[in-house]
A = this chain, B = another copy of it.
Amino acid sequence: MNSPKFVYYFGSERTDGDREMKDLLGGKGANLAEMTRIGLPVPPGFTITTEACEEFNRLDGEWPEGLEEEISSNLSLLEKETGRGFGDRENPLLVSVRSGAAISMPGMMDTVLNLGLNRDTIKGLATKTGNERLAWDSFRRFMQMFGDVVMKIPSERFENILEAVKKEKDVEYDKDLSAQDLQEVVDRYKKLYEGEIGDPFPSDPWDQLRLSINAVFGSWSNPRAIRYRELNEITDLLGTAVNVQTMVFGNMGENSGTGVCFTRDPATGKNDLYGEYLMDAQGEDVVAGIRTPQPISTLSEINQEVYEELQETRKILEQHYRDMQDLEFTIMEGKLYILQTRTGKRTVFAALNMAVDMVEEGLIDIKTALMRIPAPSFNQLFAPVLDQGGKESARYLTKGLNASPGGACGMAAFTAERAEEMAGEGKAVILCRKETSPEDIGGMAAAKGVLTARGGMTSHAAVVARGMGAPCVAGAGELEIKSDEGYLKCGEVKIEEGDVIAIDGFTGEVFAGEVRVRPSEIVQVLRGEMSSEDSMLFDKYSKVVGWADDVRRLGVRTNADTPRDTEMAVLFGAEGIGLCRTEHMFFEGDRINSFRKMILVAEEVKRLKGLIESGNGEEELRKKLEGPMSTYREALDELLPLQREDFEGIFRVLEGRPCTIRLLDPPLHEFLPKGSEGQRELADLMGVSVENVARTVDSLNEFNPMMGHRGCRLGLTYPEVSDMQVRAVVEAAVECKKDGVEVKPEIMIPLVGHRMELSIARERALKVAHQVLEEKGLSRVDLPLNVGTMIEVPRAALTADEVAEEADFFSFGTNDLTQMGCGFSRDDSGGFLQDYIDMGIYERDPFASIDAGGVGKLVEMAVDLGRKTKPALKIGVCGEHGGEPLSVRFFNRAGLDYVSCSPFRVPVARLAAAQAILEES
């Protein structure tokens, strides 16, 4: 059997590879061959294949048969093409050696430059370049790189020598060392090398090359690289390729230089060359930042010809790759060389602009354009941003989780009440809490941004802030937040109420002091605060979401609880409400008092009714029940018109779009004040003893409230509350219909685990609804009311065929399904979940992106079983996952009808739903 071809040449003599051969040649090698093919000025060289690497590792570090011969013959060809000799004293061929797998990977060996230098060839280099110092500096750099990268001698040891010589010579910068000084450095490097390795530094270029190639091959199997592949589930790659390429020098005087550039602006997407360069410098110098690189536009003043060639290269590359490229170039004595090209990273702003521009330029089609926009960061388009310059001049404090994108700046407030008060005085406020709870909603709504010391990406603060589109930095663990005492500390810095701070929800950064905030252009246009004609960005945004809508199958709804949120969501393209949480409504203004009043007597009412039903001492019990019952009814009567107004407001905004309303879900204790002061206030307000209030709070306390007395369990044990909510929905719907506004309310029963729960709750809800309709002189057909359920308890998914018998629709609550399916308390998982992701147990936070392999099975099972009972069952999802692109892809695959997410994620979901279709086809 013939051995496969292990080495692929690229150069004017011959080019063996092309861009399709990434698996065999790695990304870098394939692109070098491709650029050579299309006539770009690439220094010639050759690529050793990933198969060679695989063989090398299979043979425990031996080269496979034929490899040496192939390298040797390709090296000869390279000598021929360059007219130089490898190890030649007069005209030495120097090469770089770089790894390059199909996917770039941390931990793998990087680069050795100037390989081929030794005491002999250095003279040839000096003569050839007429620059002895350059020659010695090149050798010094080569030794250091070779020693560090290939032989694993710690880099500091080399640095220490260099520093020592600089000190001895009393110079500040490397460049001030003379050729002789550098020779001294080289001598000491040799000693260091011998001491560490036990052998002299290899002077034979062939030995240098062999060792370097082996080091690249070996680095494929180093633990960090293996770990990275495991974590990223990269199992189909054989190994890394090795690129051996002729050295070109940018540091050969004022007519040489080096630079990096993008074919378009990676920050804005502007269609122009963007980048920087340094004359008389090597790549390292650009990175080191000792000299300030120049913007690429100024290159035309220095070398018009090269600049034009670069512009031409840009066009060729974009026409060829049909995407923005990130390239490295070197100018050697006036001649341009392209050393690398790859698809450039970009901000979402740039991605949007480029995608639309390239469609208009005819470079790409619409499907490609849609796939080019990173859905996960799409909603960054809608967030206000902190001014970069402002950030640099403010005092950096700490970094938390970038929980909700956007920048915000304002005065620190440490309680929700103070935040509301201060906002009421017209101040911009940042609400700072150890963690937030539903009691803080008012304060969060009033604040420009939210900062917490505890909680993860799906903590209450994070979820609510994302829902509001408000910037949030969560879980900034270094902060000590003392709400009671009204300050926070970060190390030595103390921030008191009213002190100005800024948070960057894009990065998680927190600053002390004023930082300017710029609003999102798109949001301004959507809100009518800016004309769409003034915003190029809006124009492109609306094109892209329009294209997405044409492609996607999944419907996109929103999770919204107020007319304001609903309005924003509709502007963002929501096709209805998938989750209207009724409990948030209870926190607004004074209504919390009515609700608390109800809670305080609810248990007593329930107890007495139970006794009456069991039929003992009816008269006396009925008398006892009168007091609590009238308080109970009074509270519900107070809440009814308020809820009705809420629903009416939402229905009017929706204009006939469906609205799924979830009945009361959280455990009652969440509505009661936890602190003794709040309890005293409540007691005073209600005219009962503080002990009475405290006893109720205590009795409602739960060990694991997530799995406690909540959801439909509340509705079944305190049915009057659900009755009131259903009545409010139907009364609101009737009001709207009167005015000719179409309405499609749907009642959703939460936390169902057993078909009987849904059956009882559904029957009762329909009874109330029909009663209201009758009161209003309407019939059931005037307002068809769908009653469905959340699927969020594993048992409901497991018995979805039974549950479907009672349901008009399913809506997955994937947050709770994840909590119960994985046994992860969302609020507590901080203690181990990050470790789990670090250990590679879970690839991603299952609360952020659905755990398709586990929790996803429950989703698939519920869809299958549900549709077995009712083939046309409407199924959606209303958990946070509804707006996360990977999850949206999963839901599309699982056959759901729609996803529902927070208003600011609606465009994300629209885009992701389209991408899901495109990916599958």
Contacts and interface: CB of A to CB of B under 8 A. Distances in A.
Given A708-B831, A828-B705, A839-B716, A855 B795 contact: yes
A801 to B, nearest CB: 11
Contacts of A706: 703-704, 707, 823, 825
A821 B835 contact: no
Contacts of A851: 795
Contact of A704 (B828, B836, B840): B828
Contacts of A792: 823
A858 interface: yes
B703 A825 contact: yes
Interface string A812-856: 000010011111110111011001100111100000000101110
A794 B857 CA distance: 11
Given A713-B832, A816-B823, A705 B708 contact: no
Interface stretch (A295-303, A750-758, A876-884): A750-758
Q: Give the interface size class of chain A.
A: 35 or more
B823 A753 contact: yes
Interface in A783-827: 792-795, 798-799, 816, 819-825, 827
Contact of A799 (B753, B828, B829, B857): B857
A708 B854 contact: no
A825 to B, nearest CB: 4
A744 B547 CA distance: 65
Nearest to A841: B756
Q: From A828, A853, A857, name the one whose CB has the most chain B CB atoms within 10 angstroms.
A: A828
A757 B704 contact: no
B756 A840 contact: yes
B709 A828 contact: yes
B760 A841 contact: yes
Interface string A686-708: 00000000000000001111111
B822 A854 contact: no
A842 B754 CA distance: 8
A757 B799 contact: no
A823 B793 contact: yes
A875 to B, nearest CB: 19
A311 interface: no
Contacts of A832: 709, 713, 716-717
Nearest to A759: B841
Contacts of A795: 821-823, 851, 854-855
Contact of A760 (B705, B707, B839): B839
Nearest to A792: B823
A794 B819 CA distance: 10
Interface in A96-139: none
A751 B825 CA distance: 13
Given A794-B821, A822-B793, A753 B703 contact: no
A703 B798 contact: no
Contacts of A835: 716-717
A819 to B, nearest CB: 6
Contacts of A798: 821, 854, 857-858
A20 to B, nearest CB: 35
A18 to B, nearest CB: 39
A757 B828 contact: no
Contact of A754 (B703, B716, B831, B854): B854
A522 B423 CA distance: 75
Contacts of A819: 704, 707
A707 B825 contact: yes
Copies per complex of this chain: 2
Contact of A841 (B757, B821, B831, B854): B757
A866 B920 CA distance: 31
Nearest to A435: B703
Contact of A709 (B756, B831, B853): B831
Given A716-B839, A753-B822, A839-B716, A703 B828 contact: yes
Nearest to A851: B795
A184 to B, nearest CB: 30
Nearest to A795: B854
Contacts of A831: 702, 708-709, 713, 717
Nearest to A827: B703
Contacts of A822: 753-754, 793-795
Nearest to A842: B754
A704 B841 contact: no
A853 to B, nearest CB: 7
A443 B840 CA distance: 43
Contacts of A760: 839, 841
Contacts of A839: 716, 756, 760
Contacts of A825: 702-708
Contacts of A703: 704-706, 825, 827-828
A823 B795 CA distance: 8
Interface string A306-346: 00000000000000000000000000000000000000000
Contacts of A705: 703-704, 825, 828
Contacts of A794: 794, 820-823, 858
Interface in A737-767: 751, 753-754, 756-757, 760
Contacts of A820: 707, 794, 820-821, 823
A311 B733 CA distance: 76
A267 to B, nearest CB: 30
A704 B854 contact: no
Nearest to A831: B709
A599 to B, nearest CB: 13
Interface in A58-114: none
A41 B706 CA distance: 64
Nearest to A861: B798
Contacts of A853: 799
Nearest to A832: B713
Nearest to A704: B825
A832 B667 CA distance: 12
Nearest to A711: B823
Interface in A702-741: 702-709, 713, 716-717
Contact of A707 (B823, B840, B854): B823
A851 B793 CA distance: 14
A841 B825 CA distance: 26
A703 B717 CA distance: 24
Contacts of A702: 825, 827-828, 831
Nearest to A754: B841
Contacts of A829: 708
A632 to B, nearest CB: 17
A630 B786 CA distance: 64
22 contacts: A703-B825, A704-B706, A706-B707, A707-B819, A707-B820, A707-B825, A707-B828, A709-B832, A713-B831, A716-B839, A717-B832, A753-B823, A753-B854, A754-B854, A756-B842, A757-B836, A757-B841, A795-B823, A795-B851, A798-B854, A799-B853, A820-B823
Q: Give 6 closest A-B pairs by Cβ, nearest first.
A: A704-B825, A707-B825, A709-B831, A708-B828, A795-B854, A703-B827
Given A754-B842, A820-B820, 6 more contacts: A707-B819, A707-B825, A717-B831, A794-B820, A794-B822, A798-B857
Interface of A: 702-709, 713, 716-717, 751, 753-754, 756-757, 760, 792-795, 798-799, 816, 819-825, 827-829, 831-832, 835-836, 839-842, 851, 853-855, 857-858
